[in-house]
C-alpha cells in the first residue's frame, strides 16, 4: 500500500519524470534568497550540474573554478571555515572522484562547512560510459570522518536535501542523477536528514500481519522497488519499501525495527554492492540483528555506454531483478527457521 504522502500516479505510464539534479539547482536558488552566506562553486560544469540558475541570479556569490577539481575543494574548504556555506558542483566521478584527497584533508579533516554535490552518479548517466558513471562514490564518502551522505530519490527530495544541507554544520555529500526519473514524493512528503521513511507497506485489506521482506533502497531506483512491491503482491508476497535517503548518519533504529519485523532484507542502490548502502545495512545487521540479506546493485564491475534503462536492466537493478532478490532472501529465511 503506497504511502499517502507519495505521488499517487507513480505507476501510470505518463508519470512525471525530472532529473534529481534539477532539484539541486532549485534548492540553490532558494538558499541564495534566504542566506547571503551561501556561495556556489563549479568546475566548468555549471549548466550540467544545474548551478547555472544560481550563477545568473547571484553572480557575486558564484565562482567558476574551471577544470580544476582539487582547487574546487580547497578553495571551498577555506570559505567553509570563514563563515560561508559553499556548495561545490561537479560530476561525482570528478568530485569526489578526482579530488578525494583534498576533500579528505582540507574539508573533512577540518570539519569545514562545505556541501559537495556529485552529479551524474550511477550508470544511468548512459552514453557517457564508465568513465563518467560514478558507482563508488557512496562508499568512499561514507567512510570519511565528519562526512554526511544523502542520496535523494527524486527532484523534490533533492531540493529539500539541498536546502537541509545548508542548515547542517559540517561537510555533506549529496548525490544526484543525470537522467529523468519518476517524481515519487510530493511537497508534503516529510524529509528529515537521518530519518528513513516507509514508502510502501502491505495492504491492510489483505490483513497481512507483517511483511515477508524489507526492501531498503535509495535514489531513483526506489521507483523500481515500488513497482516490484506492487507486482509481488499479485504473487502473494508482501514487502515493505523503505527510503534510506541518508546513508550517513544511518537511521539505525528504523532499519532495525522494520527489518526485525520482516525477518529478511533486500538492499537496492545504483552503486557498487560493496561499501554503499548495502554495506552499511549489512554492517548494522551483523552487529545488532543478524538476518538473511540480499543485495541489488553493481556487482564489482564498471558500466558501459548505452541507454539508461537498458543499462539498469543489464546490470541487474530492474524490477525483475528486485523481485528475484526478494524471492531468494525469502527462501534463505525459510531455510534458516
DSSP string, 101-170: HHIIIIIITTT---EEEEESBSGGGGGG-GGG-B-SHHHHHHTSTT-EEE--SSHHHHHHHHHHHHTSSS
CA distances from 4 to 15, 83, 155, 160, 232 (A): 16, 40, 18, 19, 20
> 215-246: per-residue pLDDT in tens?
999 999 999 999 999 999 999 999 999 999 99
**Beta-bridge mates of residue 244:** none
Catalytic annotation on 69?
Answer: yes
For residues 42 and 64, what is the distance between their CA atoms, to the nearest angstrom? 5
- DSSP for 282-336, please give it: HHHHHHH----EEEEEE-S----SS-HHHHHHHTT-SHHHHHHHHHHHHHHHHHH
**Tens digits of per-residue pLDDT, 20-36?**
999 999 999 999 999 99
- At residue 337, the pLDDT reads 60
Q: Distances from the Cα of 95 to the Cαs of 43, 67, 87, 276, in angstroms?
A: 9, 11, 12, 17
Q: Does residue 207 carry a pLDDT above 80? A: no
By the 10 Å C-beta count (0-12 exposed, 13-18 middle, 19+ buried), 330 is classed as buried
pLDDT at 44 exceeding the cut of 90: yes
Please name the helix (run of DSSP H) or strand (run of DSSP E) that holds residue 73, with its range, or none: helix 69-80
Strand, coil or helix: 246: strand
Would the pLDDT of 206 be above 80? no
Average of pLDDT values for 123-137? 96
pLDDT, mean of residues 295-309? 97
pTM above 0.95, yes or no: yes
Percentage with pLDDT > 70 across the chain: 98
Give me the pLDDT at residue 146, please: 98
pLDDT band, residue 209 (cuts 50/70/90): confident
Closest by alpha carbon to 201, among 219, 189, 214?
A: 214
pLDDT at 133 over 90: yes
Cα distance between residue 146 and residue 133, in whole Å: 25
Query: For residue 241, what is its C-alpha cell?
Result: 519499501
Structural domains in the chain?
17-182 (3.40.50.970), 197-336 (3.40.50.920)
Confidence bin at 335 (pLDDT 50/70/90):
confident
Q: Which of 69, 136, 157, 179 is catalytic?
A: 69
Give the mean pLDDT of the chain.
96
What is d(CA 226, CA 323) in angstroms, rounded to the nearest whole number?
11
Phi, psi angle pair for 285, to nearest 5°: -65, -40
Amino acid at each position: 500500500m503506497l504511502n499517502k504522502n507519495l505521488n499517487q500516479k507513480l505507476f501510470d505510464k505518463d508519470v512525471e519524470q525530472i532529473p534529481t539534479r534539477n532539484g539541486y539547482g532549485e534548492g540553490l536558488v532558494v538558499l541564495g534568497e534566504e542566506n547571503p552566506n551561501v556561495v556556489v562553486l563549479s568546475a566548468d560544469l555549471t549548466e550540467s550540474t544545474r548551478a547555472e540558475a544560481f550563477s545568473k541570479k547571484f553572480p557575486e556569490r558564484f565562482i567558476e573554478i574551471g577544470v580544476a577539481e582539487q582547487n574546487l575543494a580547497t578553495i571551498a574548504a577555506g570559505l567553509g571555515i570563514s563563515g560561508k556555506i559553499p556548495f561545490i558542483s561537479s560530476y561525482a566521478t570528478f568530485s569526489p572522484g578526482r579530488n578525494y584527497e583534498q576533500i579528505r584533508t582540507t574539508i573533512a579533516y577540518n570539519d569545514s562547512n562545505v556541501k559537495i554535490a556529485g552529479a551524474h552518479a550511477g550508470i544511468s548517466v548512459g552514453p557517457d560510459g564508465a568513465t563518467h558513471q560514478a558507482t563508488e562514490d557512496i562508499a568512499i564518502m561514507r567512510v570519511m570522518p565528519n562526512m554526511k551522505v544523502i542520496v535523494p530519490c527524486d527532484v523534490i527530495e533533492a531540493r529539500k536535501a539541498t536546502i537541509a544541507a545548508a542548515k547542517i554544520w559540517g561537510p555533506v555529500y549529496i548525490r544526484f542523477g543525470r537522467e529523468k526519473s519518476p517524481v515519487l514524493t510530493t511537497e508534503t512528503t516529510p524529509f528529515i536528514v537521518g530519518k528513513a521513511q516507509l514508502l510502501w507497506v502491505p495492504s491492510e485489506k489483505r490483513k497481512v500481519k507483517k511483511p515477508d521482506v524489507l526492501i531498503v533502497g535509495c535514489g531513483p531506483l526506489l521507483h523500481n522497488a515500488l513497482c516490484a512491491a506492487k507486482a509481488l503482491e499479485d504473487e502473494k508476497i508482501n514487502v515493505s519499501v523503505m527510503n534510506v535517503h541518508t546513508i550517513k548518519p544511518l537511521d539505525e533504529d528504523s532499519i532495525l525495527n522494520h527489518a526485525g519485523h520482516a525477518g529478511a532484507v533486500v538492499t537496492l542502490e545504483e552503486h557498487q554492492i560493496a561499501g554503499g548502502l548495502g554495506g552499511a545495512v549489512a554492517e548494522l545487521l551483523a552487529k545488532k540483528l543478524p538476518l538473511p540479506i540480499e543485495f541489488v546493485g553493481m556487482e564489482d564491475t564498471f558500466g558501459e555506454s548505452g541507454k539508461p534503462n537498458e543499462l539498469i536492466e543489464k546490470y541487474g537493478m530492474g524490477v525483475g531483478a528486485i523481485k528475484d532478490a526478494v524471492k531468494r532472501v525469502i527462501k534463505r529465511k525459510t531455510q534458516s527457521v
